[in-house]
């Protein structure tokens, strides 16, 4: 059994930890209210803008606009939105697991280096296995410091990095990420862009979600009615898309970042609440052990006194 001094030291340590986790829980709850309001306010605008562009996708494909062009998918860019800080339970772990599953699935679809596809020469097969020529390839764009650190440790095929989002994702940050993705898609460096983030439903309910970002209209929203056959556009298709596409990209990315931020604070509040409860249970156990040890020491002292008194008689 631990000594009384050790138990008192552990009780002080657990008490300090409990105070810290309780304070972090309260701070996370305050930040969650602000992040939740921001995430919920962003959704209607992003959804309306996305629906408007999806309804014009058929017309845009007739004009062969690159952002609406359906292609053979050779390279997919997966944008992973993680947190900058830890102590948020399994928030980042769930995202990392989803990315690892996607990378493993992509690796299973690709032959090993040097393996020759049916009817292909061995030399060309080695190049295809190493660089993915003619084969589906998955590259990762990480957003957030935790994702960047994990991706470097695990050796993910990184296409880009965006770290240190700050307390709240800003419009400038969302536009910078979206602009980089638009440029890579238009230059045919990637053929499809997906966003992997944690969608916020409530403080206790979150879900890892993967949405298609580009091309626009590749996966229309469920339940959306098809547009009429002849659509009159004023002042013109090019002018409309020139105004809407930057807004769409920024708004869609900002909505995903806001959802991820609210989910992060909800996960942190839940994790710190559980840590506070665990610290309280551990504190009760330590106090009980301390009281038992003190009682045992007092009993021994009384027995020593009684024994000495009996000896003097």
Instruction: Enter the tokens of residue 270.
Output: 């839940």
In a domain, residue 295? The reply is no
In a domain, residue 229? The reply is yes
Q: Which of 32, 42, 79, 88 is catalytic?
A: 88
Query: Is the model more confident about 8 or about 306?
Result: 8
DSSP percent split of the chain into helix, strand, coil, nearest 5: 60, 15, 25
In a domain, residue 298? The reply is no
pLDDT score of 297 = 84
In a domain, residue 306? The reply is no
In a domain, residue 311? The reply is no
Report pLDDT digits (tens) over 103-131: 988 887 655 444 444 334 333 333 334 34
Average pLDDT, the chain: 81
Q: Could you tell me the pLDDT band of residue 221, with boundaries at 50, 70 and 90?
A: low
Report pLDDT digits (tens) over 239-259: 777 777 888 888 889 999 999
Please compute, for residue 285, the number of CA atoms within 13 A of its CA located in the half-sphere on the CB side: 9
**Which of 14-28, 103-117, 228-242: highest mean pLDDT?**
14-28
Percent of the chain with pLDDT over 70: 81
In a domain, residue 211? The reply is yes
In a domain, residue 299? The reply is no
pLDDT score of 80 = 95
Give the count of domains, the chain: 1
Report pLDDT digits (tens) over 133-181: 445 689 999 999 999 999 999 999 999 998 777 777 788 888 889 999 9
Domain range enclosing 154:
18-276
Q: Could you tell me the pLDDT band of residue 305, with boundaries at 50, 70 and 90?
A: confident
In a domain, residue 114? The reply is yes
- Is residue 231 over pLDDT 70? no
Assign residue 237 the CATH number of its domain: 3.40.1380.10
210 is an active site residue: no
């Amino acid at each position: 059994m631990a000594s009384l001094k050790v138990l008192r030291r552990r009780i002080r340590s657990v008490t300090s930890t409990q105070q810290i986790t309780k304070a972090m829980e309260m701070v996370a709850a305050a930040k969650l209210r602000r992040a939740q309001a921001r995430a919920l306010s962003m959704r209607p605008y992003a959804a309306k803008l996305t629906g408007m562009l999806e309804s014009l996708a058929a017309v845009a494909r007739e004009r062969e606009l690159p952002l609406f062009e359906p292609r053979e998918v050779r390279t997919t860019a997966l944008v992973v939105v993680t947190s900058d800080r830890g102590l948020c339970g399994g928030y980042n772990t769930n995202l990392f697991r989803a990315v690892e599953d996607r990378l493993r699935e992509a690796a299973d679809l690709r032959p090993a280096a040097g393996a020759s596809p049916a009817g292909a020469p061995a030399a060309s097969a080695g190049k295809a296995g190493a660089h993915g020529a003619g084969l589906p390839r998955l590259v990762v764009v990480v957003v957030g410091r935790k994702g960047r650190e994990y991706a470097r440790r695990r050796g993910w095929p990184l296409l880009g990095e965006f770290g240190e989002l700050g307390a709240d994702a800003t419009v400038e940050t969302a536009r910078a990420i979206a602009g980089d993705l638009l440029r890579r898609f238009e230059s045919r460096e990637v053929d499809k862009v997906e966003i992997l983030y944690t969608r916020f439903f409530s403080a206790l309910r979150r879900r890892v979600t993967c949405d298609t970002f580009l091309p626009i209209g590749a996966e229309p929203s469920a339940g959306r009615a098809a547009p009429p056959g002849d659509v009159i556009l004023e002042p013109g298709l090019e002018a409309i898309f020139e105004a809407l596409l930057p807004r769409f990209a920024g708004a869609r990315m900002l909505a995903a970042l806001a959802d991820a931020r609210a989910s992060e604070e909800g996960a942190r509040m839940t994790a710190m609440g559980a840590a506070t409860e665990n610290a309280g249970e551990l504190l009760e156990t330590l106090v009980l052990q301390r009281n038992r040890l003190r009682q045992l020491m007092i009993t021994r002292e009384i027995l020593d006194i009684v024994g000495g008194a009996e000896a003097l008689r």
